[in-house]
Structure 1
Amino acid sequence: MTRWLLALLAALSFAPMAQAVDEADLLPIDEAFALTATATERGRIQLHWEIADGYYLYKHRMGAEVLSAGFKVNPLELPDGIAYTDEFFGDVETYRDAVTGVLTGAAADGTTVVELKVKYQGCADLGVCYPPHAKTLRVSLPAAAARAAPADGLDLLGPRGNAVFGASTGGTDALPLPEGEAFRFEAIVDSADQLLLRFTPAPGYYLYRDRSGVEVRGDGVSAGPIGWPPATSHFDEHFGDVQVYFDTVDAPLPLRREHADAVVVTVVATFQGCQTDGICYPPMTREVTLDLPAGGRVALAPAPAGTAPGTTPALWLALLLALGGGVILNLMPCVLPVLSLKALSLAQGGGDRRKARSQALWYTAGVLASFAAVGAAALALRQAGLALGWGFQLQQPGVITALALVMVAIGLSLSGVVAFGATLAGTGQSLAQKSGPAGDFFTGVLAVVVASPCTAPFMGSALAFAFAASPAVAIGVFLALGLGLALPFLLIGFVPALAARLPKPGAWMETFKHLLAFPMYLTAVWLLWVLAKQRGADAIGLALVGVVGLGLGLWLWEKARWKGVAAKTLAALVIALSLWPVVAVQRMPVPVRAEASTDGAVEYSAQRLEQLRRDGRVVFVNMTADWCVSCKANERTVLGRDAFKASLERAGAVYMKGDWTDVDPEITAFLETHKAVGVPLYVVYPRQGEPRVLPTILTQGIVDEALAEAAR
């Protein structure tokens, strides 16, 4: 009966194959895949399948879960299988003859039997696959190891009288400790506005720094950032390169208070850790209730979580800083080429107040929409687990190439090679007017895109506030930045006295338009230089082919304006083909960078920085990127000068540089640690004590003072 039922299920699922198979030739699933389970230790269960000849199991369809409450388990560990291309699942791994999987976990005291639900699926070489199968097993655990006798009078009992078994080695040969003994958490009141936290992993265990956090619950009290000490870089099979603590960690926790009254608070710590070369525990939560005394500094407004007290502005101040930063962006060299276009457009208005207002409003709409889109994208990606900040899109070589092509296209238009928005003779005036708002809106979009490499003063604090605040507040800060960028042209459009100062239209405008093409070409050259840093000479070759193709396509398009559909189709095809390098450079591998440095800097690495700090060295860390205009300006005016080198020598400091031109998770983690929203970031580490973050716009005086203080 079983064979008939199995054959019927297989026939329903895989009817085309089952027609040629005799169901009498199929084994029952428990004979085809004989499963047994054995606990070799209290924290280790082996699942063994004996696979009949002519049958195989899929690796990706195998798994196990624990139904018992007294046993916490890691995912099923399986060996590498045989590579196989399956018509149903594609590229898979399979097992034949036999396979053994391992479940590692931690058994609670008193647990003697573990109930498992094991899932698996396999096929026969005859051409029939069994339906997914689940089997429930009960596994007896060996008795708990006896508590070791105390040596030299030492008591191995924990504070609650529980035996600390296996604590001497902590490796894979030691039985996993209960989570309460493997990881301890304590909190005490240090002052009215600060707590002291202590995390204690047992010997042979480690704690993840970036998977640990604390929440403070109390009336008008919230937690600031944890003052984590330097951690140890460790390669973890679960999360890759991570920062961990193997020993006791003492960390201050500043508090934000809305009132000075005494209050009872609950400290909720969430953290995760592993046994060295052994099991990893699921995230753990501990709570401690504390009586917070009266006093302490009272914040003027609640600050967002994850930012340092005294450095993050209140909402109204963040909006003002963002507005000011946006205004100053107008003076940055990366924005000037686009603003030149806008200036030309306003001059063409000839003092028409109605047209000037329309241009200002459409330009502002383009700026605001773009800032909102960039902000929303960055916030969404950060919410998805990617640490991204201001200018993240410029880490993509495809974006750099596309921007270079846009700049070339605008330059060709200004040079008279092609006229964007021109209309055929006889077209009504209403259609011609529609091109105006679209052009103004696009100019606003372009201004935001090219503003990304620049970081104006005040933007750092405002953006840090945005990335730490709620999404609605964050978008408000981004819109304030946009309003600041658009403000000069809004004033020209709506203040008659300013509009009256615009020059009158005339023959000079044609010459001015031709001259404006050259800043666009120079911007394209700069973008191609950045692309060379990201992907090398081959990428430049591809991009230049795209530039030539784009020029040819636009020239053909202009020639085809008075011709038939075939000529326009050919021109459109050439333009489309010229965009192929945008995709091609994105797929190119990152070239190997030379480690030699001409400015005496050593390449950043978390391990090297930690070693230098242990050695008591002063370290000046410069996080930069080739596309960051503010970074290059600081390097040219301060960091590349002999005075800076002399200041380093006086302080006995090591100059360390991190390159964020491409996506680099290690540098991104460093930026996150210091609550930075992008580059530049300058951090001075003293011989002892906490690091100091310098302003984004440097002067030699700021650097001298910071290094001198760090060397004391």
Structure 2
Amino acid sequence: MTRWLLAALAALLLAPTAQAVDEADLLPIDQAFALSARATERGRIEFHWEIAPGYYLYRHRTGVELVEGGFKSNPLELPDGEAYTDEFFGDVETYRNQLTAVLTGATADDATALRFKVKYQGCADVGVCYPPHTKTVTVALPAGAGGDPLAALGGARGPDLFGDTDPARAAGGLPLPEEQAFRFEAIAGGPDKLLLRFDPAPGYYLYRDRSTVEVEGDGVTAGAINWPPAQSHRDEHFGDVMVYFDPVDATLPLQRTNTAATVLTVRTTFQGCQTDGICYPPMTRTATVTLPAGAGAAAPADAPRETPPARAPTALWLALLLALGGGVILNLMPCVLPVLSLKALSLAQGGGQAKRQALWYTAGVLASFAAVGAIALALRQAGLALGWGFQLQQPGVIAALALVMIAIGLSLSGVVSFGASLAGTGQSLAQKSGPAGDFFTGVLAVVVASPCTAPFMGTALAFAFAASPAVAILVFLALGLGLALPFLLIGFVPALASRLPKPGAWMDTLKQVLAFPMYLTAVWLLWVLAKQRGADAIGLVLAGAVVLGLGLWWWEKARWGRLLPRVLAALVVLAALWPVLVVQRMPVPERAVAAEEGVVAFSQDKLDQLRRDGRVVFVNMTADWCVTCKANERTVLAREGFRTALDAAGAVYMKGDWTDVDPAITAFLESHGAVGVPLYVVYPRNGEPRVLPTVLTQDLVAGALAEAAN
């Protein structure tokens, strides 16, 4: 039965996802959804999107609003879309390949151009959704019944497509060809280095961290490029980035095993954008440079480029140590304590078998951490932006976990006995648990640990998600080893094992008492589910819990009887899982923003505006299923001292809720290198934002706000 429940949970986590596009190849929004607008006549404006393959637009998220000009419009006319059940919005209609929306109305006689604000939102098939996008377009009107050549400019590649707001500047608003917008040169700066110049045209900028350089030449390899200081910039495509608006000179050190004069081929790939306009796809330029004779730092021909090879092992060992420490601290988190109580009871009743029990428990923990890591990495490779605790964003997973906790509680209460053999009437308590019970306890410890984030975990997991799959799994295993370490010590250090209480009748009473933390965990999970899908979901899962209790009770009664009653009891238990599937498919209800005094709901546009206004902003990214988040909010963020620090700094408190899947919050987390919640970021009046530790203190927060205000 337990195996079936876990299989159902794994099936929910491994639900197939379309993969028409790799996340690494994700297009800028203006290329994924290329917008143009034109006036086919004075009373008819057509807004047209060319939608790239593997992308789609939402019908209900598409709208047009008149900004300037004499035009009294009718409602926007949109064609019927393709019916689709969306994980973010439920039952919706979508458009692929292309979309033409029509706005009709009456135009003032003296009107020569109209300005519109066009709003739209779309996604890629890999599961990544763009934030809602707004573009201001200007459409030139034909004169009278005839045509005006300016209309063709407005409808093809004129100011409407690229956001220019002045018809008189239509030609100037056109984006330059990429060869003119971004120039590149390379010359030899000596026998052991190259001088590189990247020259964006005025009104254009270059991304520093999306630029790479390679060299091809006999016995010459490139080191890490040395960039001058870049400018921080809030970019609609990649978030907070470092860019160059002016010509930039960089140096590229070279390692040489060939001291003769050599001809090099220099190949660079970079990406840049037009300010308030389009973003160009990655561009590749090639230059030929004659390197003078001379000696350089010797290096093997296959030396890695861009990154000094000595740094990787140090970073890996540090990540493993942080993961081990985070796993140990995870034992102290409240979400893990109920299962640890079960394990302590198991060791107490195990007599001289503490070593075997500790090993099986550790095996369960390590196998589960490896499975969670593999699933998370596979889904990220498929294009989903996920982190620690991502599975708890799925209401089906929450419902399944609640039923698992109820089933364990019923077992501890004596309603049903898991793990007992068919001949178990005369077996001892130690034989009842067995290796399978110890292994499953380790699995359960990992499952209930997923809502918690311990110190050091964030840094280790951020390293894991950026590393190769093999290295990432090592980090997850180090986390698991840290979680299992206390019980490994008890099993292998006789002095510690001897301090465990002796088995006795008291353990049956303790086992029944431990059922109640399991029931409370189920109640907490149902509370999270209520936040995600409302009261209807709670009613369904509670009905499933009643059916589950009936099926387990019937199974226990029919254990030693005929086959038919046991088959019927198993079918009843299976029927109890039906609400899990229903809840997973329920649409997200419309939720009003919580009316918290002095709290601003997270919006990237609002955050950008506050930063332009020179305000200090404290951003709290949280989730209802995140135990660490709730602990920080109760002990620090809900206290009067936090409000006083906010007032003293003149700061705005902004909160984002990641309880459900939210692409905008996911993008914000990734822009700061976070693998999950909680995430706390303090934005100063000027300068770079500061990311605070996972566990907060009042003094830490007050100090960060005071520093940001200066």
Class of the TM-score when normalised by the shorter of the 2 chains? 0.5 to 0.7
Task: Name the structure 2 match of 1:328.
Answer: 329
Instruction: Show structure 1 runs of 5+ residues with no match.
Output: 1-58, 63-78, 86-90, 96-166, 190-194, 234-240, 292-301
Distance 2:660 2:450 in 1: 15
**C-alpha displacement of 1:470:** 1.7
CA shift in 2, pair 1:176/1:398, >3 Å: same
Q: Partner of 2:581: helix, strand, or coil? A: helix
Q: Which amino acid in structure 1 is aligned with residue 268 of structure 2?
A: V
Match of 2:498 in 1: 500
Question: 1:499, 1:83 → 2: CA distance?
Answer: 66
Q: 2:511 aligns with which of 503, 510, 513?
A: 513
Question: Following TM superposition, by how much is the alpha carbon of 1:552 offset from its aligned partner in structure 2, in angstroms?
Answer: 1.0
| 1:563 CA displacement | 1.9
Q: Are the aligned partners of 1:199 and 1:248 in contact in 2 as well (CA < 8 Å)?
A: no
- Corresponding residue for 1:654? 652
Q: Give the 5 Å matches for 1:51-90.
A: none
Displacement of 1:387 after TM fit? 1.6
What is the distance in 2 between the residues matched to 1:633 and 1:361?
32
Post-superposition offset of 1:230: 3.2
Distance 1:558 1:434, change over 3 A: closer
Q: Deviations over 1:156-200 (max 9, x none)?
A: xxxxxxxxxxx99886997763221234568999xxxxx999774
Letter in 2 for 1:340: S
Q: Counterpart of 2:586 in structure 1: which amino acid? A: M
Instruction: Determine if the alignment matches structure 1 residue 315 to structure 2 residue 313.
Output: no
Which of 227, 230, 242 is 2:233 aligned to?
Answer: 230
- Structure 1 match to 2:341: 340
Deviates most, 626-635 or 383-392? 383-392
Cross-structure match for 2:365 = 367
Alignment-derived partner of residue 625 in structure 1: 623
Give the secondary structure class of the aligned counterpart of 1:229: strand
Q: Give a deviation string over 1:637-684, Cα, whole Å, max 9, x none.
A: 000101000000000000011111111111111111111111111110
CA distance in 2, matches of 1:413, 1:393: 25
The answer to whether structure 1 residue 422 and structure 2 residue 420 are counterparts is yes
Matched, 1:181 2:184: no
- Hey, what's the Cα distance between the residues in 2 that align with 1:614 and 1:555? 63
Aligned-partner residue type, residue 178 of structure 1:
P
Paired with 2:488 and 2:335, the residues of 1 have a C-alpha distance of 20
Query: 1:284 corresponds to which residue?
Result: 283
Could you say which residue in structure 1 is the equivalent of 2:393? Answer: 395
Q: Deviations for 1:44-68, whole angstroms, at most 9, x for unmatched residues?
A: xxxxxxxxxxxxxxx99x9xxxxxx
Offset, 1:597:
3.1
Determine the structure 2 residue equivalent to 1:126: none
Q: Distance in 2 between matches of 1:381 and 1:219?
A: 34
Q: 3-state DSSP class of the match of 2:655?
A: strand
Cα pair 1:415 1:517 within 8 Å, conserved: yes
The one-letter code of the counterpart of 1:504 is K
* 1:476 maps to which of 462, 474, 477: 474
Give SS of 1:610's match.
helix
Q: Is the 8 A contact 2:205 2:245 kept in 1?
A: no
Letter in 1 for 2:563: V
For residues 338 and 614 of structure 1, the distance between their equivalents in structure 2, rounded to whole angstroms, comes to 49
Question: Counterpart in 1 of 2:520?
Answer: 522
Letter in 2 for 1:342: K
CA shift for structure 1 position 283: 2.8
Q: Within 1, Cα distance between the matches of 2:619 and 2:536?
A: 31
* Equivalent residue number for residue 538 of structure 2: 540
Check 1:428–1:651 CA distance in 2 against 1; reply closer, same or farther (3 A cut).
same
Please give the TM-score of this superposition, normalised by the length of structure 2: 0.66
The answer to whether the 8 A contact 2:205-2:244 is kept is: no
In 2, Cα distance between equivalents of 1:303 and 1:635? 45
- List per-residue Cα deviations over 1:469-508 (Å, max 9, x = no partner): 2221111111111000000111111111111111000010
Contact 1:617 1:686 in 2 (8 A): yes
Instruction: Encode CA deviations 1:522-577: one digit per residue, 9 max, x unaligned.
Output: 11111111111111111111111111111111111111112211111111111111
Deviates more, 1:701-710 or 1:167-176: 167-176
What is the rounded CA distance, in whole Å, between the counterparts of 1:283 and 1:426 in structure 2? 67
Aligned CA distance change for structure 1 residues 393 and 573 (closer, same or farther; 3 Å):
same
Q: Which has the larger radius of gyration?
A: 1
Alignment of 1:8-407 (within 5 A): 177-184=176-183, 200=200, 212-214=210-212, 219-221=222-224, 229-233=232-236, 249=245, 268-271=268-271, 281-286=280-285, 314-350=315-351, 352=352, 355-407=353-405
State how far apart, in whole Å, the 1-side matches of 2:249 and 2:364 are.
43
Deviation digits for residues 215-236 of structure 1, max 9, x if unmatched? 6876553689996623254xxx
Secondary structure at the counterpart of residue 652 of structure 2: strand
Partners of 1:303 and 1:312 within 8 A in 2 = no
CA distance in structure 2 between the partners assigned to 1:599 and 1:265 by the alignment: 61
Distance 1:320 1:286, change over 3 A: same
Change in 2 beyond 3 A, CA 1:83/1:624 = closer
Instruction: Give SS of 1:623's match.
Output: strand
Rounded Cα–Cα distance in structure 2 between residues aligned with 1:358 and 1:569: 34
1:359 offset after TM fit, Å? Answer: 1.1
Counterpart-to-counterpart distance in 2, 1:704 and 1:185: 47
Q: Which amino acid aligns with 2:322?
A: L
Q: Distance in 2 between matches of 1:533 and 1:365?
A: 34
| Residue 663 (structure 1) aligned to one of 658, 661, 677 | 661
Deviation at 1:452, TM superposition (A): 1.0
Instruction: Note the alpha carbon deviations across 1:605-647, whole angstroms, 9 max, x for none.
Output: 1111111111000001111111111110000000010100000
Is the alpha carbon distance of 1:370 and 1:171 closer, same or farther for their aligned partners in structure 2, counting shifts above 3 Å?
A: farther
Q: Which runs of 5+ in 2 are unaligned?
A: 1-49, 54-76, 84-93, 99-165, 189-194, 216-220, 292-302
2:324 alignment partner, SS class: helix
TM-score (structure 1 length as normaliser): 0.65
1:9-38 C-alpha deviation (Å, 9 max, x unpaired): xxxxxxxxxxxxxxxxxxxxxxxxxxxxxx
Q: How far apart, CA to CA, are the structure 2 residues paired with 1:368 and 1:179? A: 51
By how many angstroms is 1:602 displaced? Answer: 0.4
C-alpha contact 1:325 1:484 (8 A) present in aligned 2: yes
CA deviations on 1:376-435 (whole Å, 9 max, x unpaired) are 2212222222221111111111111111110000000000011112233479989x9696
Q: Which amino acid aligns with 2:320?
A: L
Q: 1:92 to 1:321 in 2, by over 3 A?
A: closer
| Alpha-carbon distance between aligned partners in 2 of 1:201 and 1:654, rounded to the nearest angstrom | 37
Cross-structure match for 2:87: none
- Residue 271 of structure 2 aligns to which amino acid in structure 1? F
CA distance in 1, matches of 2:442, 2:523: 22
Structure 2 distance, partners of 1:258, 1:636, is: 54
- Give, in whole Å, the separation in 1 of the partners of 2:483 and 2:265: 44
After superposition, give the CA deviation of every residue in 1:438-496 in whole Å (9 maximum; x if it has no partner): 11111111111111111111111111111122221111111111000000111111111
| 1:394 alignment partner AA | L
| Count of residue pairs the alignment pairs up | 535
Offset of residue 313 of structure 1 = 6.8
Change (3 A) 1:268 1:210: closer
One-letter amino acid matched to 2:505: A
| 1:483 maps to amino acid | L
Q: Name the SS of the counterpart of 1:698 in structure 2.
A: coil
Using the alignment, how far apart are the partners of 2:457 and 2:97 within structure 1? 55
Other structure's SS at 2:617 match: strand
CA distances 1:92-136 after superposition (whole Å, capped 9, x unpaired): 9999xxxxxxxxxxxxxxxxxxxxxxxxxxxxxxxxxxxxxxxxx
Q: AA paired with 1:221?
A: A
3-state DSSP class of the match of 2:681?
Answer: strand
Paired with 2:97 and 2:339, the residues of 1 have a C-alpha distance of 58
CA shift in 2, pair 1:84/1:436, >3 Å: closer
Cα 1:275/1:232, change in 2 over 3 Å: closer
- Measured at CA, do residues 304 and 180 of structure 1 come closer, stay the same or move farther in structure 2, by a change above 3 Å? closer
